[in-house]
Structure 1
Amino acid sequence: MSLDELLIEHPSSTFIGIAQGESMQDVGIFDGDMIVVDRYETARHGDVIVANFNGEFVCKILDMHRRLLLSSNQKFQPVTIHDHDDFSIEGVVTRSIRCHRRSPLLVVK
């Protein structure tokens, strides 16, 4: 079995990103982790998503009922999505992968 078969359900609509920061650590996504993001999946309330929010990529929990982007870490305040914001969901985070020895290919500069 390959990792692609295990981790990726929709290969043509999936990308891998590198998480930065501490805002999602309480759902198990830590700084430097790889996140598998599926563009095919429709985001639902409570999903962890990657979004473009006013020109920045963010990884947050989607609160569709209150139009909020939530961090799992209580140190970070919820962010309201206003009508004037430039907001688009890039995909649903379906997996996260932690590397215990960093690859030089994954170093974010």
Structure 2
Amino acid sequence: MGNIKIKRGVFDTKLELEHAGVKAGFPSPAEDYIHETLDFNRDYIRHPEASFYGDVEGDSMKDAGIFDGDRVIIDKAVEPRNGSIVVAFWNGEFTMKYLDLTHKSDGYIELRPANPNYPVFKVEAGDNFEVWGTVIHLIRTFETF
């Protein structure tokens, strides 16, 4: 069931970008002088003290576009809603699934995979369960160096 490894992030590095967008037409000579900065704190991280990386293992979220080897950014300060992708600690392991709150009035919630080959987990009162954080961003590496 465990399909994510949690890593503490240091969100204070800025990366210079030559061009912020990718254009399919002819470039403008004026764009040679544009230098923007990608700042993870400003652009992607709302709560640095509550943000973590997670390295995805497995294919239980593949139909959500999250694949084995991807990295996600998890924010523990973001309140999850019905349908949020969450990292949950359940019965001693971390797992990443959709949070389904539609059965809360019936006394349980569900953790739903985004792959029909995996079971839906029914979480009931008394289970060792905690929504650990909400997945807010996906990072994918296409080529290794």
* TM-score, L = length of structure 1: 0.88
> Structure 1 stretches of 5 or more lacking a match?
104-109
1:70-89 correspondence to structure 2 within 5 Å: 70-89=112-131
Select the structure with the greater relative contact order (CA < 8 A; seq sep ≥ 6): 1
| Corresponding residue of 1:106 | none
CA distance in 2, matches of 1:76, 1:62: 15
Whether 1:38 and 2:38 are equivalent positions in the alignment is no
**Counterpart residue number, 1:94:** 136
Residue 22 of structure 1 corresponds to which residue in structure 2? 59
| Local SS of the residue matching 2:86 | strand
Note the residue ranges of structure 2 that are not aligned, 5 or more in a row: 1-36, 104-108
SS at match of 1:91: strand
Comparing 75-84 with 43-52, which one deviates more in the overlay? 75-84
2:91 corresponds to: 54
Question: Distance in 2 between the 1:15 and 1:29 partners?
Answer: 17
Structure 1 residue ranges, 4+ long, deviating more than 2 angstroms after superposition? none
Distance 1:54 1:72, change over 3 A: same
* Sequence identity percentage: 34
Paired residues, what number? 103
Instruction: Please give the alpha-carbon distance, in whole angstroms, between the structure 2 residues aligned to 1:3 and 1:34.
Output: 18
Residues 38-73 of structure 1 show CA distances to partners (whole Å, capped at 9, x for unaligned) of: 001011100000010011000000001221000011
TM-score by length of 2: 0.67
Q: Work out the CA distance in 1 between the residues paired with 2:91 and 2:78.
A: 22
**CA displacement at 1:31 relative to structure 2:** 0.4
Q: What code does the residue aligned with 2:100 have? A: D
- Whole-Å Cα distance in 1 between the matches of residues 142 and 45 of structure 2? 21
Give distance in 1, aligned partners of 2:116 and 2:127.
Answer: 23
Alignment partner of 1:2 is 2:38? yes
Largest Rg, 1 or 2: 2
State the Cα distance separating 1:3 from its structure 2 match: 4.4
Match of 2:124, SS state, is coil
Q: What RMSD, in angstroms, separates the aligned Cα atoms of the two structures?
A: 1.3
